Structure formats: C-alpha cells, structure tokens
Amino acid sequence: MPETRKIGPFDVSAIGLGCMSLSHAYGPPPPEAQAERVLTGAVEAGYTFFDTAAVYGLGHNERLVGRVLKPYRDRIVLASKCGMTRGEERDLNGSPERLKQTCDESLARLGVEVIDLYYLHRWDKRVPIEESVGALADLVAVGKIRSIGLSEVGATTLRKAHAVHPIAALQTEYSPWTRNPEIAVLDACRELGVTFVAFSPVARGFLAGGASEPEKFGKGDFRKAMPRFNGEALAANLKLLDAFSAIAHDAGCTRAQLCLAWLLQKDPNVVPIPGTSNPDHMTENAGALHVRLSTETMAQIEATVNERTVAGARYPEAMQATVDTEDWAA
C-alpha cells in the first residue's frame, strides 16, 4: 500500500484500519486468533494507520491493538478516542479531568507512552468545546498525545476547537449513502488543513453486500436498532444494491472497493478507515488503491446512492443525540 496521505505531522496509508469490529458493535467479536490475523495481516498489507477507542469492547480493543501491534509500533500511527467509555449517551463526559484520566487509562491498556492521534469521541455539549480541547492541548504539552482529533462534530464546532489548538483530523461517517459531510464539514477541513477521516466507508457493510439480511445479524449487533436496516427503509435500500453491484462489475472491482475508490477520488484530504473482522476483507479493502474510476462512473455512483435515494436515519434517536449537527443535516 504505497500511497500515503497526511494527518497532522504524519504520513499514513491512504486507507486505514478501523478496529472497532474486532471487539464489539457488529455481533460477537471474532476469536482472538482471527482478530490477531486481521491486525498483523494489515501491517503486512501496508496499513500504517490504526483506529481504536476506549469504548470499543469496554477497553478490550485497546488492549488487543496495543498487544498485537507492539512489535510494529515504530511503523504505525496509532489513534484512540476519549469522552465516551461505556457507549451510553449519559456516559458522555468531556470534562478536562475525565479526559485526562481516560488518556492515562488508554495509555496503560495500549502499553504505549504516547498516542499519536487522540480524538474527542463525542462532544459533551454540557462542556464548551474549548474546554475539552484545552484539556487535550494540555496532554500534547506533557507528551502523552501527539495530535488532536474530533469525531462527529460540525464545521462551526471544528472552527471553535481549532482556534484553541490545531486539529489534525475530524472523523465522521462518510460513504455514498451518508453524504452529510459534504454540506459544510469537508470545506471547513480543507480551509483549516484538517484531514477528514471517513468511518463506515462501506455503509456498515451494506454497500459491500454483507448486511442485506439483518435477521442474520448476531447478538449485540447495533445495526439491528438502526433505521436504515429496518422495515420500509430497508426494503427501499435493498433496491439500490443491484444497481450499485452493476457499477462495481463494470468498474472491475468489488462493491467494497467501489465505495473506497469513490472516497479516495472524491478528495485527497480524505482517509477512509474501513473496519472488518475478516482477514480476506481487510486485504480486499487495500486493493481499492488500485481501482481508478472514470468521471462517468463517479457520477453513476452519486446518482444511484445519495441522500435522496437512501431511506432512514443514520442512528436511532438516542445515538443521534450524541452527534453535533449544528450545521449539517442528520
């Protein structure tokens, strides 16, 4: 994976690895040995950017990532997140004291002395964003983190945060079926020199063809509660898959690669971080770097899957409440 992109002071692989699904969210986590194969295989495939968080598996993911990637620490850029530790809305805590405590806990679980990129996982709206970012700036000053990121915030909040301390990256869902960042966030990132990190770039598996039968989702799979995977919204969204599959066929790539290639060509400031618990899918995703889409194919994708053709909200109401949507639609 020779292509790199910038995140703050770092050059990272143009596609990173989202590590969440190795510990929770999409049903039971994979066996430990399989998770290890995904992580070590990713290093061998050229991934140099790995994304975890305190809340993933309630600390399990940080311990897993830290242990498995320890031999490669000098070859990778490691990102984690604070501000949410149990995954519940009432658990949001952006107070400076809590963020600093969470950082110490994450450093211990990861087994590292410094975290390269440390995100505020969600903005706790009870605490001014300037105060939360100020606490992260303190962590930079004492050498516990190297750069600061934000997750799921709008352009206005990004600008307020950036005025306190340079923000290296902003992370939000972005794929053909989630286009909210195009309203204002992407422009703000370009203006401020902030890299946009796209999570769920293959639509939580849906556009890759791996999530078309929600009745087969495992226990604890949080997609079961997401409007896009239920009822009439699901029925409407399933109708998009055949056309999307045809575009991928004509482009000579898989559906997952089509999503990733679309993102990579949309904006050189975007770094997608697909997650998977399947080593073969991890390798497949890396192959998106070799896919080149014509202007006509890019237009076809956007005409087929967009904010008007996709049915249902991103999140159920309680989860949506944790997202800063001041200047972009839910």
CA distance 281 to 288: 11
The residues near 168 (Cβ < 8 Å, ≥ 6 apart) are 7, 8, 9, 117, 147, 148, 149, 194, 195
Q: What are phi and psi of 195, to 5 degrees?
A: -75, 140
Supply 120's token pair. 């505020």
What is the pTM (predicted TM-score) of this model?
Answer: 0.94
What pLDDT does 101 receive?
A: 95
pLDDT tens digits for 269-317? Answer: 999 999 999 999 999 999 999 999 999 999 999 999 999 999 999 987 7
The dihedral region occupied by 230, where left means phi > 0, alpha psi between -120 and 50, and beta the remainder, is beta
| DSSP E strand boundaries for the chain | 4-7, 10-13, 17-18, 49-51, 77-82, 115-120, 145-151, 169-173, 195-199, 270-272
Share of the chain above pLDDT 90, in %: 85
pLDDT tens digits for 303-316? Answer: 999 999 999 999 87
**Crossing angle of the two packed helices 96-110 and 129-141, in degrees rounded to 10:** 40
CA 42 vs CA 129, 182, 196, 244, 272: distances in Å: 34, 29, 21, 27, 14
pLDDT at 328 over 60: no
Residue 101 carries which side chain, given as an amino acid letter?
Answer: Q
Fold of 4-205+267-290: TIM Barrel (3.20.20)
Residue 237's pLDDT band, with cuts at 50, 70 and 90, is very high
CA distance 96 to 67: 28
**Residue recorded with tokens 């903005």:** 123
The average confidence (pLDDT) of the chain is 94
Residue 1's pLDDT band, with cuts at 50, 70 and 90, is low
Supply 14's token pair. 């143009």
pLDDT at 63 over 70: yes
pLDDT tens digits for 141-191? Answer: 999 999 999 999 999 999 999 999 999 999 999 999 999 999 999 999 999
User: Residue ranges per domain, the chain?
Assistant: 4-205+267-290
pLDDT tens digits for 95-105? Answer: 999 999 999 99
pLDDT tens digits for 189-226? Answer: 999 999 999 999 999 999 999 888 888 888 888 899 99
Q: What are phi and psi of 259, to 5 degrees?
A: -60, -45
Please identify every residue annotated as catalytic.
Answer: 56
Q: What are phi and psi of 200, to 5 degrees?
A: 50, 50
pLDDT at 88 over 80: no
**Residue recorded with tokens 């990004």:** 158
